[in-house]
């Protein structure tokens, strides 16, 4: 989740400058997309997916339904926000819930 923090921040800054979420990691600049345990991080449909061996966890932006151009929060893994929030991107998390931080369950 530490690598995802920088990506979230850069995504919000990108959005505030261009009026849309980035579509590729490269649009975010020189962001680190791998680490000690993370093999890679990809960006698809505004969602970041970190690969750890053959497992993955996804970090997705959440918008307010009546203000679809405003990022409110981010959710990871299996976490779901309450209505009227809308989650962008597909959740590609396949790590068993008990291995994830409590905020991602």
Tens-digit pLDDT profile for residues 42-66: 899 889 998 988 899 999 998 887 7
Residue 7 banded pLDDT, cuts 50, 70, 90:
confident
Find out whether 7 and 31 touch, Cβ atoms under 8 Å: yes
What CATH number should be reported for the domain holding residue 61? 3.30.700.10
| Of the listed ranges 10-19, 20-29, 68-77, 96-105, the one predicted with least confidence | 68-77
Q: Which domain holds residue 20?
A: 2-104
d(CA 11, CA 71): 10
Whether cis (ω within 30° of 0) applies to the bond prior to 84 is yes
Considering its fold, how many domains does the chain have in total?
1
Tokens representing 58? 């996804």
Whether this model's pTM surpasses 0.85: no
d(CA 90, CA 92): 6
d(CA 92, CA 82): 20
Find out whether 70 and 76 touch, Cβ atoms under 8 Å: no
Tens-digit pLDDT profile for residues 69-80: 676 688 999 998
């Amino acid at each position: 989740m530490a690598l995802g923090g920088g990506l979230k921040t850069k995504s919000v800054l990108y959005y505030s400058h261009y009026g849309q979420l980035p579509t590729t990691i490269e649009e975010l600049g020189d962001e680190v997309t791998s680490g000690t345990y993370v093999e890679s991080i990809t960006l698809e449909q505004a969602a970041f997916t970190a690969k750890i061996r053959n497992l993955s966890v996804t970090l997705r932006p959440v918008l307010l339904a009546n203000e679809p151009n405003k990022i409110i929060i981010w959710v990871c893994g299996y976490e779901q926000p309450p209505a009227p929030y809308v989650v962008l991107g597909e959740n590609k998390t396949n790590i068993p819930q008990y291995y994830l931080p409590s905020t991602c369950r």
